[in-house]
Structure 1
Amino acid sequence: MRTIKQRIHAGFILAAAFLLVLASNRLNNRNFSTVEHGVDSVFEDRLVVQEYIYTLNNLFHKKELYLANNTLNNKAIPQYPEIKNILADFERTDLTREESLFLTNLKENYKELKTLETNHAKNDSSKKEIVSVLNSISRNLDELAEVQLSEGRQLTQRSKRSLGMNQMLSRIEIVFLIIIGILFLVIVFKREKRDMELVDE
């Protein structure tokens, strides 16, 4: 029969193995959640937003081209209702503080542009004023595009760190399980050796 001391050692080893597997599982789940969030965020809040920025840039650029190629005498500036919808979709994404500030500036400049375009129909605003606001909008879009690159890079690096941590934890877990297995075998064989010595006597 096993002695009380052997039972305590065996119980300690089994408890250590259980705690090791539990702790490793929780850490792995946390790291996988970080990776999953990073992948989702890169797509939903960065790649999709980059598409919004690209589309907005094209639409405002069309206005710039129209202004460059026309005198605007008794001619309405082309309107693109989808701009309002894209800005609303943009605002619903997960925005950083810096991104939120740039988007607010963009919306304010777009509001000013709409006012100037309305006043132009009444001959109360000049082509120069409209071009100036379009230039400000172009800068806003460039700033937002830079944020997407920066945030996308950070999310990717964070995901890589989490995957690296998972790999390291897996190696450590294997090492500890091997050590625990060896200790368990030592206890078992030590008991068998003692039993054999008692039989020989």
Structure 2
Amino acid sequence: MSLYNRINIGLALSIVFLLVFATNRLDKRHFETVQNTVISLHTDRVIAQDLIYKMNLIIYNKQLSLLGESSKNVNHNLNKDFNLLIEKFSETKLTKKESQIFEKLKVDFNKLTDLEAKMLENNEEILTNINIIKSDLIKLSEIQIKESKSLTSIAQKSLDTNNLMSKLEIGFLVLIGLIIQFTIFYRVKKSKTEKLNN
């Protein structure tokens, strides 16, 4: 095999190596995107949805306690639990809109606790405030669904891109292999025919 053929084969193999290395780096980036998306989906959306569900239960229990006689003790415990859930919810990653609604929820809940502390005879104002909090929680819940869809879409796009890149990589490797084979066998055949002619 001539020096020229060796150089050609060396270049072809270098291209294959660089291609495999480059696609490996791209694959790694896509897998990191998917991994981060899955983590975010769990920590910032599934857990947030669970916290919203628990807050809703507390508000529902507050509504029920208004009908009972011992609402003061019940409300004190429920308020403690609700504040704990608010604290946990603030640790999740919030979008701009979600942050605004969450701030409103905190303000509305403080209003509710102030009204409860005044021990009003008429519970209509408290019930109105409870309904406002329910509305805040529904809006937060809707955001969780929307953001979950968005994160799932990002992960799917990344996986689809990775799949396409893998197919292109295989196609390119087959093409390079055929070119190397053609170069080797064509040169060998050509040199044999030249020797026979001489």
List aligned pairs for 1:47-196, cutoff 5 A.
Answer: 47-67=46-66, 69-70=67-68, 76=72, 78-79=74-75, 80=78, 81-120=80-119, 123=120, 126-196=122-192
Output one character per residue of 1:45-68: Cα deviation in whole Å (capped at 9) or x when no partner: 11111110111001111111222x
Figure out how many residues of one structure are paired with residues of the other and give that number.
194
- Is 1:20 aligned with 2:25? no
Segments of 4+ moved more than 4 angstroms:
none
Residues 49 and 141, structure 2, Cα contact 8 Å, conserved in 1? yes
Q: Mind listing any 5+ residue stretches in structure 1 that lack a counterpart?
A: none
For residues 84 and 26 of structure 1, the distance between their equivalents in structure 2, rounded to whole angstroms, comes to 45
Indicate the RMSD between aligned Cα atoms, in angstroms: 1.9
The alignment's TM-score, normalised by the length of structure 1, stands at 0.89
Q: Percent identity?
A: 32
Instruction: Give the counterpart letter for 1:55 in structure 2.
Output: K
Higher helix fraction: Structure 1 or Structure 2?
Answer: 2
Determine the C-alpha separation between the residues in 1 that align with 2:103 and 2:7. 66
TM-score (norm 2): 0.90
Q: AA paired with 2:177? A: G
Does the Cα contact within 8 Å between 1:66 and 1:77 map onto a contact in 2? no
Amino acid at match of 2:151: L
Q: Which runs of 5+ in 2 are unaligned?
A: none
Which residue of the partner structure matches residue 2 of structure 2? 2
